[in-house]
């Protein structure tokens, strides 16, 4: 009897599963396009999953309010991977087996993206990660992409920034989250630090769940570093800085994109003052789109967006864009899925790239994002502001022989407007600086770097080019009323 009851229960469960009114939307005039968002909505990374969900919801709402994708409604399905690889592979199987889902935005944890990779590849569905930074995530699969940079790029970047820009820093300590993100980043940082001869005095680990960091901080303090690189996420980084100040550490703190969240400022309070961090973009400086997105986000959810919310917002946007360009209701699911992949894979040059709130995204052969600019922010008066000195993209320009920093402090008479092309003028604005401070948003700087690498000028050609740009600068200084600065530069120089 009991066995029958159990059997009945199981059969009942399976039949409710099967008999969902799935083709309900057939009666409605608007057809749905379904995209899955897979992230940790439960478990100890749930805080990040929440922001991912909110970012995705905002984009979904905006797209549908604007009339959808070619008149079809975009529907996002949120799947929880709990931050565990075993669950992630089940989610992957579940998503790729649902013949209505056309693409996947996710996963967040690198281990989850890796767990899903072979399954998505077999099923032929795009996996676009807005959060996995481990080096190997996109390797060996045509179907895996990501719209943020890898650990190795960022680790290197931070090491070089500390070495080249923060010249008063003599010794550095690393304090890293002992998981794939924190340790991967730390490895890249340590490798580069050793290469460029940065004095690394300590490297300590912590666990995300264990929020008492005083033991490690005390032993870091004994090594007396000038700067501490916290390779981890904001929820802990905020506490680390707070506890470090209690421990008596006065060193400068440095964080990576994981720290970029308003919650970091809330948790760390006044201790965060003067901390540096790198991000793929800053809401304030990335342009109008990002500011607009931040405003809309706050209006919808009541909290400020973080990096992952913005990255997910862009990832959903990219998929929607791909759907708008490739979706063919006559074609089969597999063909539509393939079309999305082909579209993403075709975004391989800056011209083709997707312009989102986090900057320009385009992919290399693996599916990794190329050259997304890293930007340095600093905490000033309880706010994130762009740091005075930026590095990498500018570096590429500065390293060119013949480059003269364009500073607005001279008073040379010149009346004739030099004849510059549109690109040359844009280059001028992008590299314009006041006392070594670049004014342009990161997207402009990276455009300038791109401009140089594309034109591949010889040294003498470049000198000539700079001469013309210099002339233009003089013109700008003397006739501010006769030039037409880009929007971001109005009133700044």
Least distance in angstroms from the C-beta of 219 to other proteins: 4
d(CA 333, CA 339): 10
Which residues are CB-contacts of 344 (< 8 A; sequence separation ≥ 6)? 126, 128, 145, 318, 322, 363, 367
Site for other proteins in 114-173 (CB under 8 A): 114-115, 117-118, 123, 134, 136, 140
42 contributes a contact to other proteins by CB under 8 A: yes
Contact predicate 141/124, CB 8 Å? no
Least distance in angstroms from the C-beta of 213 to other proteins: 9
Position of tokens 């699911």? Answer: 333
328 contributes a contact to other proteins by CB under 8 A: no
**Residue 447 phi, psi dihedral angles, 5° rounding:** -65, -40
79, 260, 314, 321: which one contacts other proteins (CB under 8 A)? 79
Least distance in angstroms from the C-beta of 433 to other proteins: 38
Measure Cα distances from 34 to 50, 104, 365, 407 in Å. Answer: 20, 9, 27, 51
DSSP tag of 415: -
Contact predicate 442/286, CB 8 Å? yes
Tell me which stretch binds other proteins (CB under 8 A): 44-52, 63-71, 318-326, 373-381: 44-52
292 contributes a contact to other proteins by CB under 8 A: no
Contact predicate 57/300, CB 8 Å? yes
239 contributes a contact to other proteins by CB under 8 A: yes
**Short-list 107, 166, 114, CA closest to 137:** 114
Size of the site for other proteins (CB under 8 A): 83
- Nearest CB to other proteins, comparing residues 4 and 484: 4
36 contributes a contact to other proteins by CB under 8 A: no
Least distance in angstroms from the C-beta of 91 to other proteins: 8
5, 23, 411, 487: which one contacts other proteins (CB under 8 A)? 23
d(CA 367, CA 352): 14
71 contributes a contact to other proteins by CB under 8 A: no
d(CA 261, CA 266): 9
Site for other proteins in 205-224 (CB under 8 A): 205-207, 209-212, 214-216, 218-219, 221-222
- Nearest CB to other proteins, comparing residues 22 and 385: 22
235, 275, 369, 431: which one contacts other proteins (CB under 8 A)? 235
d(CA 273, CA 284): 18
90 contributes a contact to other proteins by CB under 8 A: yes
Contact predicate 124/338, CB 8 Å? yes
- Nearest CB to other proteins, comparing residues 67 and 269: 269
**Residue 476 phi, psi dihedral angles, 5° rounding:** -65, -40
Strands 73-80 and 433-434, by their bridges, are: unpaired
d(CA 39, CA 56): 11
72, 77, 345, 457: which one contacts other proteins (CB under 8 A)? 77
Measure Cα distances from 208 to 179, 211, 265 in Å. Answer: 8, 7, 18
The pair of three-digit structure tokens given for residue 371, joined into one six-digit string: 């050259």
Least distance in angstroms from the C-beta of 32 to other proteins: 11
- Nearest CB to other proteins, comparing residues 146 and 471: 146
20 contributes a contact to other proteins by CB under 8 A: yes
29 contributes a contact to other proteins by CB under 8 A: no
- Nearest CB to other proteins, comparing residues 333 and 489: 333
Measure Cα distances from 457 to 369, 376, 468, 470 in Å. Answer: 26, 29, 14, 17
183 contributes a contact to other proteins by CB under 8 A: yes
d(CA 443, CA 176): 29
7, 70, 295, 332: which one contacts other proteins (CB under 8 A)? 332
Contact string (CB under 8 A) for other proteins, positions 95-114, x = contact: -xxxxx---------xx--x
**Short-list 480, 486, 478, CA closest to 425:** 486
247 contributes a contact to other proteins by CB under 8 A: yes
363 contributes a contact to other proteins by CB under 8 A: no
33, 37, 39, 49: which one contacts other proteins (CB under 8 A)? 49
d(CA 348, CA 344): 8
Tell me which stretch binds other proteins (CB under 8 A): 81-89, 251-259, 316-324, 419-427: 81-89
Site for other proteins in 413-472 (CB under 8 A): none
Tell me which stretch binds other proteins (CB under 8 A): 35-43, 193-201, 421-429, 437-445: 35-43
């Amino acid at each position: 009897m009991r066995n029958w009851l159990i059997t009945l229960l199981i059969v009942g469960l399976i039949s409710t599963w099967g008999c969902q009114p799935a083709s309900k939307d057939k009666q409605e005039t608007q057809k749905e396009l379904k995209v899955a968002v897979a992230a940790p909505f439960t478990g100890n990374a749930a805080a990040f999953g929440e922001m991912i969900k909110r970012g995705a919801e905002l984009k979904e709402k905006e797209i549908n309010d604007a009339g959808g994708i070619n008149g079809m409604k975009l529907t996002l399905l949120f799947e929880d991977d709990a931050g565990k690889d075993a669950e992630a592979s089940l989610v992957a199987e579940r998503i790729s087996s649902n013949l209505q889902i056309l693409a996947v935005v996710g996963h967040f944890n690198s281990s989850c993206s890796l767990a899903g990779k072979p399954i998505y590849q077999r099923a032929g569905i795009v996996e676009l990660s807005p959060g996995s930074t481990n080096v190997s995530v996109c390797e060996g699969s045509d179907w895996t992409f990501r719209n943020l940079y890898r650990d190795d790029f960022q680790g290197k970047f931070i090491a070089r920034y500390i070495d080249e820009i923060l010249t008063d820093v003599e010794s550095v300590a690393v304090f890293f989250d002992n998981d794939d993100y924190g340790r991967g980043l730390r490895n890249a940082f340590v490798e580069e630090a050793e290469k460029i001869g940065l004095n690394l005095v300590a490297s300590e680990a912590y666990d995300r769940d264990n929020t008492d960091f005083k033991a490690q901080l005390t032993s870091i303090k004994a090594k007396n570093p000038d700067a501490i690189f916290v390779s981890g996420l904001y929820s802990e980084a905020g506490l680390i800085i707070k506890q470090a100040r209690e421990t008596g550490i006065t060193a400068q703190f440095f964080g990576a994109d994981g720290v970029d969240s308003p919650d970091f400022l809330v948790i760390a309070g006044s201790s965060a003052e003067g901390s540096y961090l790198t991000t793929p973009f800053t809401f304030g400086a990335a342009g109008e789109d990002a500011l607009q997105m931040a405003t809309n986000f706050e209006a919808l959810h009541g909290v400020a967006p973080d990096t992952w919310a913005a990255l997910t917002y862009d990832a959903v946007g990219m998929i929607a864009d791909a759907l708008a360009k490739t979706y063919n209701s006559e074609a089969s699911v597999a063909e539509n899925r393939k079309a999305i992949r082909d579209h993403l894979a075709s975004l391989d040059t800056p011209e083709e790239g997707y312009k989102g709130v986090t900057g320009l995204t385009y992919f290399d052969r693996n599916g990794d994002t190329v050259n997304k600019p890293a930007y340095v922010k600093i905490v000033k008066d309880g706010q994130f502001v762009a740091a005075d000195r930026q590095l990498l993209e500018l570096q590429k320009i500065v390293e060119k022989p013949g480059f003269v920093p364009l500073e607005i402090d001279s008073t040379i008479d010149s009346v004739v407007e030099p004849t510059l092309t549109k690109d040359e003028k844009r280059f001028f604005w992008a590299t314009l600086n006041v006392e070594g401070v670049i004014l342009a948003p990161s997207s402009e700087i990276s455009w300038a770097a791109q401009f140089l690498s594309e034109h591949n000028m010889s040294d003498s050609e470049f000198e000539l080019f700079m001469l013309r740009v210099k002339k233009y600068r003089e013109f700008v200084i003397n006739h501010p009323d006769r030039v037409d600065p880009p929007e971001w530069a109005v009133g700044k120089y």
